Amino acid sequence: MQPLTSAMTSLKKSLLAALKSFLRGRSFLQALLAFWISPKTLNEHRAGGKPTFLSRTVEDFLREAERLLLGPIDGDGLRRYSSELKRQFRERLQSHPECMLPSFNHLLPTGNERGRFLALDVGGSTLRVGLVELRGRGTTGRESEIVRMVAFKITPEIRMLEGMSFFDWMAGRIHEVVQNDIASDQEIIPMGLAWSFPVEQVSLGGGLLLPMGKGLSATNGLLGQDLGEIIKFACKKQGLNVQLSAIVNDSSATLLSQAYVYGSTRFGLILGTGTNIAVHLPVSAFSRAKFGNRPESWFESASHVIVNTELGMFGKDILPLTRWDELLNVSHPRPEFQPLEHLVSGYYLGEICRLAIVEAIETTGLLGGKLPPTLEKPYSLDTEILSAMEADTSPTLEKALAQWTTHHPSSAGRPTLADISAIRTLATFISRRSAALLAASVFSLWELRQETEAEYVASAATGPPKNDSAVALSSIDGSKEEEATNTKVAFNGSVIEHYPLYRDACQRYINDLMSRSGHPGSVDLVPAHESSILGAAIALACATPSAES
């Protein structure tokens, strides 16, 4: 028996190694899935030209899918996973060049910043230019407001602009928006920037250009040059004397946008196509090497810092993987690079479901035993379709059926109610697992912050305090006391904002983790609308001494 087991193990490894090259071949994938389910069931044969499916019902398949996807997070399973994840967070505070990255932003808003600020948000498809009014946390009405904002599409033609031509286009759009709002005699116009591309940040408002990706050619001839100086030079041609004073990424901007409203906000969460979390941690939690070459004056003024966790890169060897997750990983161009993102983010949820559906078709006869042609290619099942199907809670599932048949018609004919119900059920397992793992990420970071904060307070008791907002907040508005019982997690992104019941599920898992661990207080998810443009403006306000009233 032992030689047979050994042979089967070797065959599995060989098939996995070959999958990356052959995944596009439908017959190979079918054979692999059929084999992987159970070697004992490899007795599929054809009789009279018609396939005879394995002796397995859709109900059996769904029961196993529920066990594989949700079993590991039931009971204390999610708590155990969160502890292992926190251990990984701790380790990478000391080393690892690509995650747990301390920014130059160490100032959180006090809520007393006031004024009008120019902010830019540069993404993969859109440039947004806005004027943001900050009125203060105690004001009547809205604390912050986008007074004026215009969005400009980054069209294929704009993407092709090389070097300064792209930034000249940007400067022209900035001039269009602010020409009637900025006083002509204003010597310097400070500006905050939310930049959704790689940049080697060397100061709060300085960053060296790295390749942008997403089809843009703007860095051609400008790699390694200072982003602030490039924008300043381009704007000067338009008669605008701007100074880039703050650069933030999307998760940091999300944190800042709500920290201005809620003083107990310490996290910024993004969950859309991708996922990430920014967290405000004590500087003392990091090894000095993680900060690179920054001036000693920065360390003298900063007790805490906003950290880009690059959350998706965590989870290796601790995530509860199913065979569908392993199929996705082995066929990925960068396997193991972002293990957690594969199980959580919107880009991958549809693909996990597609792989499971392929198996169900082959082994149970789901959808008449025929894979719709539109689902033969990887990533052909959009997570948005699953979202729409989950939103249909009617007994007839008419809307879910319409969504499926519109996007994935089949020669096998119209799917049955049982088919659509099974696919919808499978989607709920996958989205619930995503919500649970995201909740564990938030909870693990919350515990990490509580622990490192206690360590910082203990060490600070024997030394002089730092002069930054993390200390100032405790005397300004009691936010440190509020945070001890009620921490806010600002969130943004298409999945957590729009996927049916996703946010509620994530919040329930967070609450359960808090309860099981015996922690007092709450960790609450709060929406951060227009967070990129608001966060860039607030980062600028924090860096502008005159903004503090």
* Residue 56: alpha-carbon gap to chain centroid: 37
User: What per-residue confidence (pLDDT) applies to 215?
Assistant: 80
**Residuewise pLDDT in 10s, the chain (549 residues):** 444 444 444 444 445 544 444 444 344 444 444 444 433 333 333 333 334 445 589 999 999 999 999 999 999 999 999 999 999 999 999 988 889 999 999 989 999 999 999 999 998 889 999 999 999 998 888 899 999 999 999 999 999 999 999 999 999 999 999 887 766 556 788 999 999 888 888 899 999 998 887 788 899 999 999 999 999 999 999 989 999 999 999 999 999 999 999 999 999 999 999 999 999 999 999 999 999 889 999 999 999 999 999 999 999 999 999 999 999 999 999 998 999 999 999 999 999 999 999 999 999 999 999 999 999 999 999 999 999 999 999 999 999 999 999 999 998 889 999 999 999 999 999 999 999 999 999 999 999 999 999 999 998 777 665 555 444 343 233 445 555 579 999 999 999 999 999 999 999 999 999 999 999 999 999 999 999 999 999 999 999 887 776
Closest CA relative to residue 510, chosen from 523, 493, 529, 497? 523
Query: Would you give the DSSP letter of residue 129?
Result: E
The CA-atom distances, in angstroms, between 380 and each of 37, 399, 421 are 23, 20, 20
Task: Give the separation between CA 483 and CA 522, rounded to whole angstroms.
Answer: 9
What stretches of 290-416 show up as alpha helix (H) in DSSP?
296-301, 323-330, 339-344, 346-364, 383-391, 398-407
CATH number for region 57-103+251-518: 3.40.367.20
3-state secondary structure of 277: strand
Q: In this structure, are strands 486-492 and 522-527 parallel, antiparallel, or unpaired?
A: parallel
Do 270 and 256 touch, CB atoms closer than 8 A?
A: no
Check if the beta carbon of residue 78 is closer than 8 Å to that of residue 436: yes
Cβ distance 130 to 121 under 8 Å? yes
Say how far apart CA 438 and CA 178 lie, in whole Å. 39
pLDDT of residue 495: 97
Give the side-chain half-sphere CA count within 13 A for 320.
22
Within 206-315, residue ranges assigned H as helices are 227-236, 250-259, 296-301
Say if residue 304 is exposed, middle or buried (CB neighbours under 10 Å; 0-12, 13-18, 19+): buried
Q: In this structure, how many other beta carbons lie within 10 angstroms of the beta carbon of residue 411?
A: 8
Q: Are strands 189-195 and 242-248 parallel, antiparallel or unpaired?
A: parallel
Structure tokens at 433: 């697992």
Check residue 467 and give its pLDDT. 53
Which region, left, alpha or beta, applies to residue 367 given φ > 0 means left and ψ of -120 to 50 means alpha? left
Indicate the length of the chain as a whole number.
Answer: 549
pLDDT at 183: 61
Mapped onto helix, strand or coil, the DSSP state of residue 379 is coil
Nearest alpha-carbon partner for 488 in 323, 317, 267, 301:
267
- Residue whose tokens read 């030079």: 233
Q: Tell me which residue of 263, 244, 266, 246 sits closest to 254, measured CA to CA.
A: 266
106 exposed, middle or buried (CB, 10 Å; 0-12, 13-18, 19+)? buried
Report which of 180, 203, 200, 190 is spatially closest to residue 231, judged by C-alpha positions: 190
- Residue 475 has which token pair? 């005397």
Tell me what pLDDT residue 484 has: 59
Sheet holding 265-271, edge to edge: 101-102, 304-308, 275-282, 265-271, 486-492, 522-527
- For strands 101-102 and 304-308, give the pairing: antiparallel
Residue 411 structure tokens: 């020669």
Helices first, then strands: H and E counts in the chain: 20, 15
For the chain, the first-to-last Cα distance in angstroms comes to 79
Question: How much is the pLDDT for 185?
Answer: 59
> Phi, psi (5° rounding) for residue 409?
-70, 160
**Residue 199: closest CA among 169, 229, 179, 172:** 229
Supply the DSSP string of 385-430, one letter for each residue. Answer: HHHHHHH--SSS-HHHHHHHHHHS--TT-SPPHHHHHHHHHHHHHH
Rounded CA-CA distance 105/306 in Å is 6
The domain segmentation of the chain, as residue ranges, is: 57-103+251-518, 104-248+529-547
Q: What is the pLDDT of residue 168?
A: 97
Q: Which CATH entry fits the domain spanning 104-248+529-547: 3.40.50.300, 3.40.50.2020, 3.30.420.40, 3.40.50.1010?
A: 3.30.420.40
The pTM score is 0.86
* pLDDT of the residue at 445: 98
Q: Is 151 helix (H, G, I), strand (E, B) or coil?
A: strand
Q: What single string gives the DSSP state of each residue in 16-46? A: HHHHHHHTT-HHHHHHHHHHHH-GGG---EE
